Amino acid sequence: MSGAQGKFEPTAESLSQHDVPEWFKDAKFGIFIHWGPAAIPAFAPHKVQIDQLDTTDEKAGFANTPYADWYQNTMMFEDSATAKYHRETFGEDYSYDNFGAAFNEALDAWDPASWARLFKQSGARYVVLVTKHHDGFALWPSDVKNPNKENWHTTRDVVGELADAVRAEGLKFGVYYSGGVDWTFKHKRIESFADFLTSMPGKEENYTEYANAHYRELIDRYKPDYLWNDIAYPAEKDSFEILAKYYNDVPDGLTNDRWITPDGSLATDAFERPEGLTGIIPPKPPVWDARTPEYGMFDRILPFQWETTRGMGHSFAYNRNESDEDYISRDAMAHMLASSACFNGNVLLNVGPRGDTIIPPGQASRLEAVGKWLETAGPAVQDTRPLAMPETTVADVAIGATQNTEAGKVYIHFLGFPGETDVSIKLPEEVSAVKSVSQLGGSVSDWSAADGMLQVSVPEWADTAVQILALDVSA
């Protein structure tokens, strides 16, 4: 998606000329935050329990989702673990609405600056906050009143305060908004993917103008660097108008690929899975800047920008049933970051703060650990662009490459642990000469380059899941 920046019109043709900003291509790593009333009960079944279910039973899958942010939906399944927990902990008639008041009370203790410092320490370059999830609870004191639920928003301006805090640390700030689902306007129990279509509110529920007004307010107040819509949007014309306003108001911003609409036109490949994909990916709308696979990756360079997103564990919002062992390891995070950089992607890693405003220590320690890894490996990941390798494996390990042409560097990533310390690597055609070779986090005992082949010997590989060779190829 390329084209001249300028005045965008609310049409697919005009909006599709928007360029992905360079800051996003440089960043590689962002922090996602799912936080709201669901963090008070903070309950979903543990993944081990879910794995014992019949995976072909779609209804059982929704009734027992590991996503704790879906608590309001899963508590509607009378026999679900969530419904049982709710009855035993809060009582049969205890409304989900009470969690909104409890969340606001807990906000008195919230310190956004401490969060921002941790995110900076992690090496992330941007932060995306869930400003309204499917339960419809807004994390800012909006002037747009919810006609179906009074005071269903935060008393503190969580969006504004966090935006100020992360920007003070030099990070970009984005907003997530559940455009396609809002259970305060329409909540038929979702028990299949088909139910997403019938549970989407629109003009009939007076939701379209409400969502439009929310988006206009978020853009006007906070000028988000990233507009991250989820699920879908109620009407194509309205989505185009929102995006035109956004691109014109925030020229260096971008949006994701979750804007499909029930009344819009679909490309013939809208539901196709791009080659090399793991995990799930939303259907492709007419206008988007980055594709967003969920709990998935690409294993090759494709002609578009993408961003994988996942929770620290199996849930996005905090789940009290997950322990430290459930959270992604430092090495797995390093592997994600290196692999995505090699194949034209970013990582949007979610943290799920607790209802008492604390980021769980196990999640915080993971951010600190990956930040330490990036202190060494960061130059090979951030501020780079992917470089195609002639081979996909060396020494039985998948490989990829990144380059920083301004610095005159090429980085070869071993996405695993080679079983030998002497390796032969076929160089990309773009590399005409090699001046020096080093190992990030380690050393090189010998190397040579001739006839498009690089021979490297190391005393030992670095103690990480990714081994990186830095080649000086400056002219």
Residue 240 structural domain: 12-379
- Asked whether residue 71 falls in the same domain as residue 142, the answer is yes
Amino acid at 290: A
pLDDT value, residue 2: 37
- Asked whether residue 359 falls in the same domain as residue 419, the answer is no
- Asked whether residue 240 falls in the same domain as residue 342, the answer is yes
* Of 332, 454, 474, 463, residue with least CA distance to 394: 454
Q: Is residue 3 part of a domain?
A: no
Q: Is residue 7 part of a domain?
A: no
- Asked whether residue 345 falls in the same domain as residue 310, the answer is yes
- Asked whether residue 269 falls in the same domain as residue 392, the answer is no
- Asked whether residue 247 falls in the same domain as residue 394, the answer is no
Q: Is residue 5 part of a domain?
A: no
Q: Are 123 and 29 in contact (CB under 8 A)?
A: yes
Q: Quick one: how far is CA 369 from the chain centroid?
A: 19
DSSP 3-state assignment of 79?
Answer: coil
Domain with 351 in it: what CATH number?
Answer: 3.20.20.80
Q: Are 139 and 159 in contact (CB under 8 A)?
A: yes
pLDDT value, residue 3: 39
* Of 458, 454, 434, 455, residue with least CA distance to 444: 458
Q: Quick one: how far is CA 48 from the chain centroid?
A: 24
Quickly list DSSP for 238-300.
HHHHHHHHHHHH-TT-EE-S----TTS---TTTTPPPTTB-SB-PPP-SS-SEE--BS--BSS
Residue with tokens 């639920």: 149
> In this structure, how many other beta carbons lie within 10 angstroms of the beta carbon of residue 323?
12
Structure tokens that stand for 381 in this block: 């990941």
State the Cα–Cα distance between residues 98 and 238, nearest whole angstrom: 33
DSSP 3-state assignment of 103?
Answer: helix
Beta bridge partners of 424: 455
pLDDT value, residue 474: 77
State how beta strands 126-132 and 29-33 pair: parallel
pLDDT value, residue 1: 38
Q: Are 1 and 286 in contact (CB under 8 A)?
A: no
Last residue of a domain, one of 352, 379, 406: 379
- Asked whether residue 371 falls in the same domain as residue 420, the answer is no
Last residue of a domain, one of 379, 397, 419: 379
- Asked whether residue 408 falls in the same domain as residue 460, the answer is yes
pLDDT value, residue 55: 62
Q: Are 341 and 409 in contact (CB under 8 A)?
A: no
Structure tokens that stand for 83 in this block: 């419904």
Q: Is residue 193 part of a domain?
A: yes
Amino acid at 349: L
pLDDT value, residue 23: 98
Q: What is the DSSP letter of 107?
A: G
Sequence-ordered list of residues with C-beta below 8 angstroms from that of 309, at least 6 positions apart, any chain: 32, 292, 293, 294, 295, 347, 348, 349, 350
CA-to-CA separations, 437 to 368, 454, 470, 471, in angstroms, rounded: 29, 10, 6, 5
- Asked whether residue 405 falls in the same domain as residue 327, the answer is no
CA-to-CA separations, 233 to 149, 256, 258, 282, 326, in angstroms, rounded: 21, 12, 8, 13, 33
**Domain total in the chain:** 2
Q: Is residue 123 part of a domain?
A: yes
- Asked whether residue 422 falls in the same domain as residue 461, the answer is yes
- Asked whether residue 217 falls in the same domain as residue 338, the answer is yes
Q: What is the DSSP letter of 138?
A: B
Q: Is residue 335 part of a domain?
A: yes
Q: Is residue 211 part of a domain?
A: yes
Q: Is residue 1 part of a domain?
A: no
Domain with 446 in it: what CATH number?
Answer: 2.60.40.1180
Last residue of a domain, one of 349, 379, 409: 379
Sequence-ordered list of residues with C-beta below 8 angstroms from that of 199, at least 6 positions apart, any chain: 181, 186, 187, 188, 190
State the Cα–Cα distance between residues 271 and 267, nearest whole angstrom: 9
Give pLDDT tens digits along the chain (475 positions). 333 456 999 999 999 999 999 999 999 999 999 999 999 999 999 976 556 556 678 899 899 999 999 999 999 999 999 999 999 999 999 999 999 999 999 999 999 999 999 999 999 999 999 999 999 999 999 999 999 999 999 999 999 999 999 999 999 999 999 999 999 999 989 999 888 778 899 999 999 999 999 999 999 999 999 999 999 999 999 999 999 999 999 999 999 999 999 999 888 999 999 999 999 999 999 999 999 999 999 999 999 999 999 999 999 999 999 999 999 999 999 999 999 999 999 999 999 999 999 999 999 999 999 999 999 999 999 999 999 999 999 999 999 999 999 999 999 999 999 989 999 999 999 999 999 999 999 999 999 999 999 999 999 999 888 999 999 997 6
- Asked whether residue 329 falls in the same domain as residue 391, the answer is no
Q: Quick one: how far is CA 191 from the chain centroid?
A: 24
pLDDT value, residue 198: 85
Q: What is the DSSP letter of 411?
A: E
Q: Are 316 and 327 in contact (CB under 8 A)?
A: no
* Of 338, 314, 333, residue with least CA distance to 325: 314
